[in-house]
Amino acid sequence: MRDSARALVEQAAGAKVTASRPLSGGCIGEVYHLSLTDGRALVAKVGGAGSGLALEGAMLRHLAAHGAPVPEVLRADDHLLLMTFVPSGDALTPRVQDHAAHVIAALHDNAGPCFGFAFDTVIGGLPQPNPQEDRWVPFFRDHRLLFMAGEAARAGRLPAAILRRIEALAARLDEILEEPDHPSLLHGDLWTGNVLAHQGRLSGLIDPALYWGHPEVELAFTTLFGTFGDVFFNRYHDLRPIRPGFFEERLEVYNMYPLLVHVRLFGGGYLGGVDRTLRRLGI
């Protein structure tokens, strides 16, 4: 860790750093595990002006205020995000997934005033617009599906022919998707690396991309890279029943958004998934 960053940490923590080691993970900033003279273990993300670390801290604090298990934020600006260390390293075993279902269902029980959020957020370092709207389907169509498809196309990573097929899907969303009972608080980026587990429990959620939305878009995302499986979904369904048709069709539609995020970030390797999804949807 650079001396300037160490000085910021020690000022914020009120204790000296005795050891630091780099950690993997996160799309923005350098990440370190820190040991302090007072015995605490902290995590520091170090960035600079415009890094987005202040935004990440604001999202974590919002999740904490709504009961989610996240690191406590000690300092949050674009130069330093300082957090408590959350024990982790365990696999997402059936026992962990059962506990995770309770955690995520409780998160989704938080009802918001509208879809979107009070400010724009990010996903994987990419902008995620959150204008506040009264209906979910237009919000998902315009500010998730079409927005990210446009970003990928402008970056030269989404061919025009596939963009036209996505626009055709967008025109049909009112026939496929459903409005939820209320806007739910979503973590927004529940891939495996953002779900921490320790001693048979979900110990923490990190790197959010939060907004108020339909819980189904979050549930779908957890299937894309195998974060959760049947144990999670069975328990979640016990707590918050999943409406018919989700696994058969709506899941595929919702996963177009994270697929397009990956197309925008990483390019053609994910185009096959977009094409196959569109074909399965008859487009």
Q: Is the pLDDT of residue 181 over 80?
A: yes
Long-range Cβ contact pairs of 273-278 (< 8 A, separation 24 or more): 274/158, 274/162, 274/166, 275/162, 277/252, 278/162, 278/165, 278/166, 278/169
Q: Is the pLDDT of residue 26 over 80?
A: no
The CA–CA distances, whole Å, from 14 to 6, 31, 133, 136, 249 equal 12, 20, 43, 45, 53
In this predicted structure, what is the pLDDT of residue 118? 96
**Which is higher by pLDDT, 26 or 136?**
136
Residue 89 forms part of a structural domain: no
In this predicted structure, what is the pLDDT of residue 24? 76
Domains held by the chain: number:
2
**Model confidence pTM above 0.85:** yes
Tell me the average pLDDT across 56-64.
97
In this predicted structure, what is the pLDDT of residue 49? 87
Q: Are residues 273 and 222 in the same domain?
A: yes
Q: Give the DSSP letter string of 30-99.
A: EEEEEEETTS-EEEEEE--TT-SHHHHHHHHHHHHHTT---PPEEEESSSEEEEE---------HHHHHH
Which pair of structure tokens corresponds to residue 48? Answer: 């600079």
Q: Are residues 123 and 262 in the same domain?
A: yes
Q: Which of 77, 142, 189, 230 is catalytic?
A: 189
In this predicted structure, what is the pLDDT of residue 29? 67
Domain boundary among 31, 56, 84: 84
Given a contact cutoff of 8 angstroms between Cβ atoms, the answer to whether 98 and 164 are in contact is no
In this predicted structure, what is the pLDDT of residue 268? 80
The enclosing domain of 80 has a CATH number of 3.30.200.20
174 is catalytic: no
Q: Are residues 57 and 186 in the same domain?
A: no
3-class state of residue 17 by DSSP: strand
In this predicted structure, what is the pLDDT of residue 248? 95
Range of the domain at 26: 3-84
- Summarised one tens digit per residue, pLDDT across range 120-162 is 999 988 999 999 999 999 999 999 999 999 999 999 999 999 9
Given a contact cutoff of 8 angstroms between Cβ atoms, the answer to whether 135 and 179 are in contact is yes
In this predicted structure, what is the pLDDT of residue 30? 86
**Which is higher by pLDDT, 257 or 269?**
257
Tell me the average pLDDT across 81-98.
96
Average pLDDT over all residues of the chain: 95
Angstrom distance (rounded) from CA 2 to CA 79: 12
Q: Is the pLDDT of residue 11 over 80?
A: yes
- Summarised one tens digit per residue, pLDDT across range 33-51 is 999 999 999 999 998 888 8
- Summarised one tens digit per residue, pLDDT across range 190-237 is 999 999 999 999 999 999 999 999 999 999 999 999 999 999 999 999
**Which is higher by pLDDT, 27 or 234?**
234
Domain boundary among 84, 106, 140: 84
Q: Are residues 105 and 129 in the same domain?
A: yes
Q: How confident is the model at residue 165 (pLDDT cuts 50, 70, 90)?
A: very high
The CA–CA distances, whole Å, from 103 to 30, 66, 75, 182, 207 equal 29, 11, 25, 18, 16
